Amino acid sequence: MSRRRRTRAGGQPARQSRTGEAGSQSASREGAQSQARGRQSGGKLRWYKADLHTHTPASNDYEEPAVSYLQWLTTARERGLDIVAITDHNTVAGVAAIRREIEWLTRLKEENRLTPEERSNLEQWLKLANEIVILPGFEFTATFGFHILAIYPPDTSVRKLEHTLLRLNVPEDRLLAGSTETGASTDVTTAYETIVDSGGIAIAAHANSTNGVAMRNFPFGGQTKIAYTQDENLSALEVTDLESRSRRATSRFFNGSKTEYPRKMHCIQGSDAHRLDNDPRNSRRLGLGERATELLLPEPTFDAIRELFASRFFDRTRPFRAPEKEVDHLAAARAEGPNQTQSFHESANIKGGRQTVVLADLCAFANTDGGTIFVGASARKGKVKGLAASKQVQTELQQALSERLTPPLEARFEILANSGGDVLRIGVDAGDSKPYCLDGSKFYVRNDAETSLALRDEIVALVLESVGLSSDLVANGDAEDAPVSTGAARDGKSDGNGTGRSGVSDGGGKQGASASDDPFYLPQDGVEIVSSETRGGTAYYVVRNLRNLRSVGNVTRKGARKLWNYAIAQFEDSPVKSDQIRWKKNVGYIRSGKRAGKRRFDLALREGSALRVFYGVTSEGMEGAWAQFVEEGE
């Protein structure tokens, strides 16, 4: 499935300053100095610590209302923040208060009326203005209570920000309240569009948690959740589990590998601080800057942040950690292991064919969901082998890629320093010119953690996809008795072992999940035996890949890939009966076990009198009603 390309967020680029609108000459001067500092390295990228979700005493639920704004900004800088966004609840009163204080002190200075205390405060304000970028904004409460961060260039006027809040239906008499309650406001996707149209960037606040657009078990339709998290005007998801290694972490769910969620999302974290310091009685009540994100930017400006979020450079954002806890991307990847979008190779030597294996992975990722390859390390525990001549390996791979893979494919190469030796990281997106071919005749695809030559039906599907046509391999007759409608599915056998157990067809190149609006109606990975027929004494199957809902015909047990072979073997040797299934309403648990170091589940779905069986589903693919079976398999 091709990915939708994001257009860059709207709004004209604004002149950057550190503290705000052009009403303060000192702020403008400091802004010019900050831009010069940002470019002093000739545009080289560096990491900047940012907290893009903070509150000030302007929010009515701020827990330390006596804190001054100067004390607030001083704390932000003491925490090492380079960039901070002020996002009070449905108000920009905090932004306005900071600007008024700077302008008032500046006017007193011009009139030579400053007291010693006021002079000290102004000097401190100007010093901070040269050290930290302040981005104005607000945290908007949309329909159904969902929270959205709206962040703007530093010189955006308070009047413009308040006008945007009015456009979002925040009542005029509530503009200074700083409350999460605004009455009837604006729906989520319209809010995204309005924020971008007014020159800002929209970020879903604490998306996986309370009042977040991706929170679990919220009773709204699946298509609505897809729209709220995949909208082209949404720049990023702020999540509270960015450092989680769990397979159910939010960033892993939105990694672009799910059919209903094809757009990989930038995921960041923010403190959502309503106080200066952590609450010792409640670890979830964080202090200012205590949960921050690092952004790899050419300069600390709004435009640079917006361009990063509009790009596919997902490795240029990371959770901030203290120096002794620096993020080890290689260690994190090895802990996760090979999967649909990640592979490992200890070498890429031309001799022995290891270079060809790496190129095959690149070809497969380009033909499927994109992915990352680590060369110089295996996924096994233990010391990293590393590459003795990493730059030479990179050059050889780049040359081989240009000579052996067609059509041309753009890949990102990066050398990671490691105590065991350098490791080469190669990233590639799902290609725009599928199918990609190695050495003129070899078409590879990626299925779970396995790269393999594409079957005839897969090649046909890739070709048709590349020219914008659809191909329903099942409905077009690869299996005589394959169902093409809900009725056909329900008229089929119900013992889970005959033909006619698949769901509806959407008429496209993929089998539709259901008429249901629930994107988790089916598991998100694993395979399903759609139908079978016997020709010349050999059983031929149509197998559906639940990750992309594409069906492949003419699969035999002998020639099937690992997971497909397992599914066919279970289908033939261990027929499933309905009374053997542990049912929870219409979904059921059959069995689970470890395969290749990963626990996999066989699951069932009851559709009227019909029974559908799904083989080799991982816990990552068990969302919605399926999630209740994860603990049973542990």
Domain that holds residue 473: 462-633
Task: Give me the pLDDT at residue 316, please.
Answer: 94
Note the pLDDT of residue 621: 84
Q: Where does the pLDDT of residue 502 fall: very low under 50, low under 70, confident under 90, or very high at 90 and above?
A: very low
The pLDDT, as a whole number, for residue 518 is 64
pLDDT in tens, 245-260: 776 788 888 988 787 8
Distance CA 177, CA 58 (A): 8
Q: What is the pLDDT of residue 60?
A: 95
Q: What is the pTM of this model?
A: 0.61
Greater confidence (479 vs 201) lies with: 201
Instruction: Please give the Cα distance from 491 to 495 (Å, whole number).
Output: 12
The mean pLDDT value for 592-604 works out to 87
Amino acid in the structure at residue 40: Q
Residues 163 and 218 in one domain: yes
Residue 160 — very low, low, confident or very high, per pLDDT cuts 50/70/90? Answer: very high
Q: Are 544 and 551 in contact (CB under 8 A)?
A: yes
Q: Residue 585: inside a domain, yes or no?
A: yes
Structure tokens at 530: 């759609």
Among the ranges given (314-318, 362-366, 450-454, 521-525), the one the predictor scored with the smallest mean pLDDT: 521-525
pLDDT of amino acid 532: 92
- pLDDT recorded at residue 15: 36
477 and 437: one domain? no
Q: Phi first, then psi: what are they for 551, rounded to 5°?
A: -100, 140
Average per-residue pLDDT for the chain: 84
Q: What is the pLDDT of residue 18?
A: 52
Q: What does DSSP say about strands 234-238 and 201-204: parallel, antiparallel, or unpaired?
A: parallel
Is residue 360 located within the same domain as residue 466? no
Q: Summarize the confidence of residues 55-71 as an average pLDDT.
A: 95
Half-sphere exposure of 125 (CA within 13 A, CB side): 24
Given 389, 418, 452, the domain boundary residue is 452
pLDDT of residue 252: 85
Residue 187 lies in a domain: yes
**Does the structure show a pLDDT above 60 at 466?**
yes
Q: Is the pLDDT of residue 23 over 50?
A: no
Where among 286, 321, 356 does a domain terminate? 321
Give the pLDDT mean for 283-307: 95
Q: Select the more confidently predicted residue: 487 or 315.
A: 315
The CATH number of residue 307's host domain is: 3.20.20.140
* Burial class (CB within 10 angstroms; exposed 0-12, middle 13-18, buried 19+) of 292: buried
Give the C-alpha separation, 33 to 56, whole Å: 26
Are 315 and 337 members of one domain?
A: no
Q: 11 lies in a domain?
A: no
Q: What's the pLDDT score for residue 217?
A: 64
Residue 21 has what pLDDT?
52
Say if residue 308 is in the same domain as residue 357. Answer: no
Per the model's pLDDT, the better-predicted residue between 520 and 223 turns out to be 223
Listed in sequence order, the DSSP H helices in 5-115 are 25-38, 69-78, 93-110
One domain for residues 261 and 361: no
Within a domain: residue 107? no
Residue 488: inside a domain, yes or no? yes
Alpha carbons 548 and 2: distance in angstroms, whole number: 11
Whether the CB-CB separation of 99 and 105 falls below 8 Å is answered with no
Main-chain dihedrals φ then ψ at residue 571, nearest 5 degrees: -60, -40
In this structure, the answer to whether residues 348 and 413 fall within a common structural domain is: yes
pLDDT at 221: 65
Contact 124, 114 (CB under 8 A): no
Higher pLDDT among residues 37 and 242, named by residue? 242
Average pLDDT over residues 555-561: 88
Question: What is d(CA 256, CA 263) in angstroms, rounded to the nearest whole number?
Answer: 5
pLDDT at 62: 96
Is 199 contained in some domain? yes
Sheet holding 550-555, edge to edge: 550-555, 538-545, 527-535, 610-618, 598-607, 587-595, 582-584
Mean pLDDT value of segment 87-102: 97
Q: Name the residue among 205, 141, 197 with its Cα closest to residue 169.
A: 141
Q: Which two tokens mark 248?
A: 């159910």
| pLDDT value at 51 more than 90 | yes
- In-domain check, residue 114: no
The encoded tokens of residue 300 equal: 């600390």
pLDDT score of 326 more than 80: no
Q: How confident is the model at residue 244 (pLDDT cuts 50, 70, 90)?
A: confident
pLDDT reported for residue 617: 93
| Same-domain check for residues 531 and 608 | yes
Does 271 lie in the same domain as 355? no
E strand residue ranges, 417-549:
423-428, 437-438, 444-447, 450-453, 527-535, 538-545
**Residue 4's pLDDT is what?**
33
Q: Is the pLDDT of residue 79 over 80?
A: yes
Answer with the one of 385, 418, 452 that is the final residue of a domain. Answer: 452
Per-residue confidence (pLDDT) for residue 111, from 0 to 100: 95
User: Are residues 364 and 311 part of one domain?
Assistant: no
Question: By CB neighbour count within 10 A (0-12 exposed, 13-18 middle, 19+ buried), where does 535 fall?
Answer: exposed
pLDDT digits (tens, 9 = 90+) for 131-146: 999 999 999 999 989 9
Residues 6+ apart with CB under 8 A from 477: none
Percentage of residues of the chain with pLDDT beyond 70: 83
> Rounded to an integer, what distance in angstroms lies between the CA atom of residue 283 and that of residue 634?
29
> How many separate domains does the chain show?
3
User: β-strands 538-545, 550-555: how paired?
Assistant: antiparallel
Whether 33 maps to a domain, the answer reads no
pLDDT for res 447: 86
Tell me, what CATH number does 448's domain have?
3.30.950.30
Position 189 scores a pLDDT of 97
Tens-digit pLDDT profile for residues 210-229: 899 988 766 666 788 899 99
Q: Could you tell me the end-to-end alpha-carbon distance of the chain, in angstroms, rounded to an integer?
A: 32
Do 251 and 307 belong together in one domain? yes
- pLDDT band (50, 70, 90) for residue 90: very high
| 12: pLDDT strictly greater than 70 | no
Residue 479 sits in the same domain as residue 509: yes
Contact 25, 13 (CB under 8 A): no
